Chain A
Amino acid sequence: MSFLQVKGINKTFEDKHVLKNVSFEVSKGELFAIAGPPTAGKTTLLKIIAGLLSADSGAIYLDGRDISQIPPSARDIGMLFEIPQVYPNLTGFENIAFPLRARKTPEGEIRKEVMEIAELLGIKHLLDRYPTTYSGGEYQRVALARVLVRRPKVLLLDEPFRNLDAKIQEFMRTWLKELQKKIGITVIHVTHDPIEAMAVGDKVGVMLKGELKQIGQPHEIYLRPTSIDVAEYVTIPAINSFEGIVRFREGFAEIEAGGAFNFRKRCERNTEFHEKEVIVCVRPHDILVDTQPRKDWTKAALVLSQPFGSEILLLLKLNEEYIRAIVDRTMNIKEGTPLYINIDPEKVLIFDRETKNIITI
């Protein structure tokens, strides 16, 4: 049995079904990242695991024990909120010591525990200072120390980086991942940012409208999304989608997409998918772009080019549709000149227009 097991959780608020049969397992020492847009139900799920809210149905097992009916303080679960709780009128030391004092831990032991956790988190220099003097990242680390000093079996993180500067977020992401590996704690990390989830998670779950739609390793989620809504959610910049149709002819599957692209893949006739209405999705990185015309490539107008780190993000217009493409900096792109595009048949994702699920051809 897995270390943490969440089974069939349902939750409604009035007539809103916010969690729909949510189940997953987390192994000991694993970092499970749950990504989903705002209002997907992520925070509600964490609160149920922490015992701050009760589920309508379902169960939670920790280390083999059903904890669903146990009060929060007895669950051995620590939670760091989006707006972390640090008392402004207490020093760093007293803030971290607070949960231990509440438990009436002997003074000598408190000192030892606080120093140990401060050493581990690299915040010894903050112990004598008041939180008003902390930077965003320091504040977050002291808040985390407060949670970790109780030595929870599972740590729940709710958007821990949301209110930090972009650059500090980047630093904290690596810092947290290294810390987690060092102390071997089991973590559920919730975020609205799919890129963050893929970067930190050993395993990633995508939560959309109260449903855990897909669970997998980061590259699986990115490369093999099982449904179109997962593909659209995890791909940033936004994935391109074209309505298309599949036909089988003489040992090939011919796919027509968006009226502009036709490509074929060698494969056996599959009557189930013949004449199937599909949606063809292509990630911006997988749109092929050239400044010179090429046989069978389509001419597109360049609407906008934006620097994107070491790459350039292009917005192209083809017929009435906008297409996003990412190209290398070395490509000589000039606004106002046409570009020629194609799609790589090996990299497209094809979804059933009706069920929204992926089709393998």
Chain B
Amino acid sequence: MTEIALRVENLRKTFGNTIAVDDISFEIKRGEFFSLLGPSGCGKTTTLRCIAGLEKPDKGRIIIGGEDVTELPPQKRNVGLVFQEYAVFPHMTVYENIAFGLMIKKLPKDEIRRKVIEIAELLELNPYLNIKGAKLSLALMQRVAIARSIVVEPEILLLDEPLTLVDAKMKESMRRELRRYQKELGVTILHVTHDQLEAMMVSDKVAVMCQGKILQIGTPFNVYDNPSNIFVAKFIGSPTMNFIEGRLECQDSELLMVSDDVRIRLSDFPLEKLRDYVSREIILGVRPEDIEISTQPAIGSITGKITLIETVGNKLEITVELNSLTLKILSPLRADLKIGQPIHLKMKPGKVHIFDKITEKNILSEEVW
């Protein structure tokens, strides 16, 4: 038995003149929760459909559980599939829904019973076994759809935007349940989503896709802390990372980023790494929670004016203008701030990202994958 549940090698898929998936490769370990994350049209669903056997790739190989399945029809691939609309049969009971795949496989009745009960117990579906599919809440329907797919013991479960149609409130609890059950059952999951928070919350690993390519693969905190380029930096995290363009300068062996709007001291950066970029254009990136605000100026702080304050749960999203620059800052709830008021900002040490303006690559991050 191999430790790799799924390997995708140089997968390419075009539709007419459009390249949907552009030569991508990745692998998923047994028991891993892996998310393909990207905007609409980035190729993530096409990738999933190629793996399921619903689309035929132009090029590349798909290996599931050590076996090359590229030429096999969907039903011979040993994958489970859960779509946006949970395909739960409304006229069948939960028991019958879960047993469905096993009945098709013509398993003995008592074995079916044992397997259904076992999975129902794990997914806490026992109380609902006699209820008809049509009567279930969305959350229960999702669990039934998952139970149905994993009772036949697929090598990998494919989830295509499983929570898109669910309202905000339920989404949060379903993300928790999904991750909990996956861990308890030890199932391998490939999950497709456009929602970065969802990908962060459920995954062991996230692959960020854009225009048919994978830009970065890493753990959720890894892609959050070390985005490999500007697209990933923008796509991961909410509110979006702030970007400031300017020129890197070195004065008295101290690094500075200088633009028409601001001068930002980069004293905690190692000069050796950035030496090649001195006098060149860079883009500085800083997350909204990595800017500290104060009503009092301090050494090295920059001063702007508050233009908007929004309450988002237990936090404030504060928009600050600094000449032609607009920055978003996330701060704990506080009552002493007013629109129009001057505010002093300081970037938290070690939390600033620096990108090459031309290649848009993160200058400081190592290629970690």
CA distance A184 to B151 in the complex (A): 56
B315 to chain A, nearest CB (A): 9
Within 8 A of A (CB), among B221-238: 221, 224, 235, 237-238
The interface residues of chain A lying within 8 Å CB-to-CB of B173 are 237-238
Judge whether B220 is part of the interface by a CB distance below 8 angstroms.
yes
Is the pair A193, B167 in contact by a Cβ cutoff of 8 Å? yes
Q: Which residues of B contact A195 (CB under 8 A)?
A: 168, 312-313
Sort chain A's interface into a size bin: 35 or more
Contact assessment for B313 and A306 in the assembled complex, using a CB-CB cutoff below 8 Å:
no
Q: Are A307 and B221 in contact (CB under 8 A)?
A: yes
Report chain A residues within 8 Å CB of B220: 307
Whether, in the assembled complex, B47 has its beta carbon less than 8 Å from a beta carbon of chain A, the answer is no
Distance (whole angstroms) from the CB of A268 to the closest CB of chain B: 27
Contact B311 A199, beta carbon cutoff 8 Å: yes
Which residues from chain A contact B239 at a C-beta distance below 8 Å? Answer: 170
B12 close to chain A: CB less than 8 A: no
Least CB distance from B218 to A in Å reads 12
A-B contact count (CB 8 A): 109
Task: Please provide the chain A residues from 136 to 185 with a CB less than 8 Å away from any CB of chain B in the complex.
Answer: 136, 165-168, 170-171, 177-178
Give CA–CA (A303, B330) in the complex, Å: 29
Contact between A310 and B180 (Cβ–Cβ < 8 Å)?
no
**Which of B176, B221, B313 sits near A198, CB closer than 8 Å?**
B313
Min CB distance A344 to B, Å, is: 13
Q: Confirm or deny: B365 has a beta carbon within 8 angstroms of a beta carbon on chain A.
A: no
Given A166-B195, A166-B197, A193-B167, residue A309 in contact with residue B311 (CB < 8 A): no
Tell me if B14 counts as interface (CB < 8 A to partner A).
Answer: no
- Asked if A61 CB lies within 8 Å of chain B CBs, one says no
Q: A167-B194, A315-B176 are in contact. Are A309 and B39 (CB under 8 A)?
A: no
Q: Are A194 and B172 in contact (CB under 8 A)?
A: no
Judged by a CB distance under 8 angstroms, whether B200 is at the interface is yes
Most-contacted residue by chain B among A167, A193, A218, A329 (CB, 10 A): A167
Question: Is B325 an interface residue, CB under 8 A from the partner?
Answer: no
Closest to B168 in A: A193
Taken residue by residue from 313 to 340, chain A's Cβ proximity to chain B (1 for < 8 Å, 0 otherwise) reads as 1010000000010000100000000000
Instruction: List residues of chain B with CB within 8 A of the CB of A8.
Output: none
* CB atoms of B194 and A219 under 8 A apart: no
Contact of A306 among B201, B287, B289 (CB under 8 A): B201
**Does any Cβ of A come within 8 Å of B183's Cβ?**
yes
Q: Which residue of A lies closest to B330 (CB)?
A: A310
Which residue on B lies nearest to A135, using beta carbons? B40
B175 is an interface residue with CB less than 8 A from chain A: yes
What is the CA–CA distance of A222 and B310 in the complex, to the nearest angstrom? Answer: 13
CA–CA, A307 and B317, complex, Å? 20
Asked whether, in the complex, the Cβ of A238 is within 8 Å of the Cβ of B172, the reply is: yes
**Pair A38/B167 contact, Cβ less than 8 Å:** yes
Q: How many Å from the CB of A43 to the closest CB on chain B?
A: 13
Q: Could you give, for residues 171-207 of chain B, a 1 whenever the CB lies within 8 Å of some chain A CB and a 0 otherwise?
A: 0110110011001000000000011111011100000
- B201 near A167 with CB under 8 A, answer no
Q: Shortest CB–CB separation between residue B246 and chain A, in angstroms?
A: 24
Contact between A285 and B240, CB atoms less than 8 A apart: no
* Most A CB within 10 A of own CB, among B39, B167, B168, B313: B313
Q: Is the CB of B289 within 8 A of A166?
A: no
Partner of A310, one of B40, B235, B287: B287
Evaluate contact between B169 and A236: CB separation under 8 angstroms. Answer: yes
Q: Which residue of B lies closest to A322 (CB)?
A: B176
In chain B, what residue has the closest Cβ to A196? B168
Q: Specify which chain A residues have a CB less than 8 angstroms from the CB of B237 in the assembled complex.
A: 309-310
Q: Are B179 and A304 neighbours in the complex by a CB distance under 8 Å? A: yes
Give the residues from 221 to 261 in chain A that come closer than 8 angstroms, CB to CB, to chain B: 222-223, 233, 235-238
B residues engaging A (CB < 8 A)? Answer: 39-40, 167-169, 172-173, 175-176, 179-180, 183, 194-198, 200-202, 220-221, 224, 235, 237-240, 287, 289, 308, 310-314, 317, 330, 333
Closest 5 CB pairs of A and B: A193-B168, A218-B311, A166-B195, A307-B220, A192-B167
Given A238-B169, A307-B200, list of 4 further CB < 8 A pairs?
A: A195-B168, A308-B197, A309-B238, A313-B176
